[in-house]
Chain A
Amino acid sequence: MARAAGISGFLRSTSARLSLRFAVLYAVITALVLGLTYHFADRELRQWVADQLAQDAAGFADLYQGEGLDAVQAKLAGFAGFNFEDYRIYLLVDAEGQVLAGNVDAIDLSGDSGYIPVDAIHAQTPRYKDVTGYLLHSVQLGQHRLTLGSSTYYQEELREVLGRGFLAGFVLMLMTGLLAGVIVGHRTERRLTQISAALKAVSDGQLDRRVPTTGGDTNDLARMADDINRTIAQLERMVDSQKQISADIAHDLRTPMQRLRQRLDALQAAPDLPDPIRSAVDEALEIADDLIETFHALLRIAQIEAGARADRFADAALALVLERVEDAYGAVAEENRQLLTVKMTDHEALVRGDQQLLTQMISNLVENALRHCPAQTRIKLSLSRLDGRVLLQVSDNGPGIPEGEREKVLRRFYRLEKSRTTPGNGLGLSMVKAIADLHGATLRFDDNHPGLRVLILFPLAGRKTS
C-alpha cells in the first residue's frame, strides 16, 4: 500500500514527468540520427553498386570489341557457374530477343538501367528470399543486348543492421533516460520529503528542526534547503525573543505581584483593622489572587505550548481521568441543579500523555459547561473508539457557541459577549487547546442541537491489559 503510493507518488512528481519527457526526446533524436545515417549510407551504396555495374558493362563492351561475342558468352557462362545468394544476374539476348546466355530467363525491362523489383525477373530457380529487387545496367553489344544486375541484398543487410541498431539505441536511450529519471527523481523526492518533514516539524512547534544539508552540494534543492533553514532560524530567533520578552515580563512582574500580595497579606493579619478597611483589603487580596491566577495560567499555557512535560508522557487511562472528573464535579452539578453523566463504551483505551494535564483539560471543559449553562442542563462526558482512535466528548444542551465564534473562543482572553459577566479569565479553552495539541489530539466544537459538543480525538496508545 505504502509502496504503491510511493510509486504513483513518484510518477506524479515533477522530476519524474521531466525525466520521462527527456527520455522520449532522446529517443526521437536517436531515431532521427539513425534515419539520416541510413539515408546517406543507402545512397552511397547504390552509387557504389551502380558504378560497379557500369564498370563491368564497360569491361564486357571492351571484350566484345576486341574478341567478339564468343568471348563474351564464354565469360558469362563462367560467371553463371556460381551464384552468391543471387547477388548478380546476367542476360544476353540477340536482336530478336532470343536468350543467348545468362542466369535468368527473362527480365521485364521498363528501361535500360535503374532499379526493378524482383517480380520482374523470370527464372527457373526461385530467387533468394531476402532479395527484393535489382539494380540493372544494360549495354548494347552490336545486335545483342547485355543486361547486368546487382541485387539489393546489401541494402537489405544495411537496413537490417541499422534497424537493429536503431531499436537497441532507442531502447537503451529510453531505459537510460528513465533510469536517470528514477534516480534523479528519487533523490529529488527524498530531498523534498526531508524538506516537508522538517517544515511539518517546525509547524508543530519544533523550531530547532532543520532540513538536513549535505556539505558541498550546490544544486537548486540544496540552495532551497539553505534558504528554508535560514527562514526557520529567523523564525526561531523571533519566537525566542518573543518568549524572552514574555519571560522577562513574567520575571519583572513576579516580584511586584509577590510584594503586593505579601503587603495585603500582612495588612489582613493586622488585629485591629476597622471593618470597612478589612473588607476592602479582602477584596484587594481577591483581585490580586485573580491577577496572579491569570498570570499563572498564561505562563502555564505558554509552557505547555512549548512542549513542556511531553518528555514525561506515560500511558494514561482516560476512563480513570473521566471517573475522577465526574467524582469531583458531579456534586457541583447537583448543587447547580444540572446533571453530569458519564458514558464509556471503551474503558481500556490508553493514550500517551500527562494524567494531570488531561484531568485539567477535561475539568476545564466540564467547568465551562457548568458555568455557562443554566439549571436543568444535562452535561455528558463520553469515551468511545473511532477509527482506531479514542474519542472523548463533552456535550451539553445549553446555549452553545455560535458557529462563527467557535474558532475565536480558543484565543487567549476571548470571551463570548453573553459570558462577559460570568467570572473567568478567558483562558480555559486556550488551555484546553494547548493540552490537546501537546497530546497530538484534535479538538473540535460542534453544534449539539441544542448546545455545545466538544470532540477530542486522541491517537490510541494501547489497551489496558488487566
Chain B
Amino acid sequence: MRVLVVEDHVETAEYVTSSLQAQGHLVDHCSNGREGFLSALDNQYDVMIFDRMLPGLDGLTLVKSVRGAGVETPILILSAMDGIDDRVQGLEAGSDDYLVKPFSFQELSARLAALTRRPPLRVEETVLQVADLEMNLIRRTVMRRGVALDLQPREFSLLEYLMRNAGRVLTRTMLLESVWDFHFDPKTNVVETHISRLRNKIDKPFDTDLIHTIRGAGYSLHG
C-alpha cells in the first residue's frame, strides 16, 4: 500500500519509513506540515501518518486542512507521551487513530492495517463468517461447524472485533481500546484472560485453532 509519513524527527521518520518499506509498502516522507499538505492533496494514499508536533503547520491543523480539502484517506496521529488530550483532540480534528511515542513498529503496523482495511459495512451485513465460524449479529448467536456456542456479552464483542478484522494482527492495546474502551495500560492480564476464555469456547472443542497468538505483537483470527 501507499503511505504518507509527515514527521520532522529524522530518526523516527527513518524508522517508520524503512520498517514500512521492509514490509513492501510505498512510502512518501515529508518533514513539515506544508509539504505534507501538498503531498496529501496531490497523491492517492491508502493511509497517512502525521506527527502531532510539526514545524510550520502542526499535526491537528494539518488533519483539519486535509479533511477540509475533501481528502478522506485514513489518518493516524503520532503524539508525544505527555499529550494527554491529544487522542480526543486528534479524533475531533478528523483523524482515525492515534499512537503515543515511543511505539513499537508492530503496534503501528497493526493499526495501519486495521485502518486501511475498513470494508464499507453494508447495512444488510448481519452475518460474519471466518472459516467454519459464523456469527449472527442480529440474533447475537455464534456457531462453529453447526454447533451453537454460548458466549458472554463481552466475549461476543471481543469475537466480533476479531472477526471483523480477520487475518489482521490486533495488538493488546487495540483490543483494550476497541472492546473495553480502556485507554490506559492495565497491570493485570485482562486481554489474556478474556482471550483464553474465548479460546476455551471456540477453539478447544475443535481440532483446529482460529485464534492465533502473534509473538510480541498480539492476536489474530484466521482459519
Contacts and interface: CB of A to CB of B under 8 A. Distances in A.
Contact of A254 (B15, B81, B153, B181): B81
Contacts of B103: 261
Given A258-B101, A332-B188, A303 B216 contact: no
Interface stretch (A13-21, A217-225, A292-300, A397-405): A292-300
B82 A299 contact: yes
B180 A328 contact: yes
A356 B185 CA distance: 12
Sorting the interface of chain A by its residue count into under 10, 10 to 19, 20 to 34 or 35 or more gives 35 or more
**Chain B binding surface, main DSSP class:** loop
Interface stretch (A90-98, A304-312, A440-448): A304-312
A367 interface: yes
A370 B11 contact: no
Contacts of A309: 84-85
A299 B81 CA distance: 7
A308 B81 contact: no
Interface stretch (B133-141, B142-150, B160-168, B189-197): B189-197
Residue from B11, B12, B82, B181 whose CB has the most chain A CB atoms within 10 Å: B82
Contacts of B183: 356, 360
B15 A262 contact: yes
Given A262-B15, A265-B104, A371-B187, A300 B181 contact: no
A424 B187 contact: yes
A342 interface: no
A295 B81 contact: yes
Nearest to B101: A258
A423 B101 CA distance: 23
Interface in B69-89: 80-82, 84-85, 88
Contact of B188 (A247, A329, A356): A329
Sorting the interface of chain B by its residue count into under 10, 10 to 19, 20 to 34 or 35 or more gives 35 or more
A295 B82 CA distance: 9
Nearest to A335: B193
Interface string A269-296: 1000000000000100100000011011
A360 B184 contact: yes
Contacts of B206: none
A428 B186 CA distance: 10
Residue from B102, B186, B188 whose CB has the most chain A CB atoms within 10 Å: B102
A327 interface: yes
A303 B185 contact: no
Contacts of B184: 356, 360, 363
A303 B190 contact: no
B127 to A, nearest CB: 25
A295 B81 CA distance: 9
A332 B190 contact: yes
B11 A255 contact: yes
Contact of B186 (A255, A257, A335, A363): A363
Contacts of B101: 254, 258
B73 to A, nearest CB: 26
A247 B88 contact: no
A413 B116 CA distance: 41
A324 interface: yes
Residue from B9, B85, B186 whose CB has the most chain A CB atoms within 10 Å: B186
A73 interface: no
Contacts of A363: 182, 184, 186
11 contacts: A247-B82, A254-B81, A257-B102, A285-B216, A292-B102, A293-B185, A299-B82, A303-B82, A312-B88, A328-B186, A332-B188
Given A302-B82, A331-B193, 12 more contacts: A250-B81, A255-B11, A258-B101, A262-B105, A266-B15, A296-B100, A308-B84, A324-B181, A328-B182, A332-B190, A360-B184, A363-B184
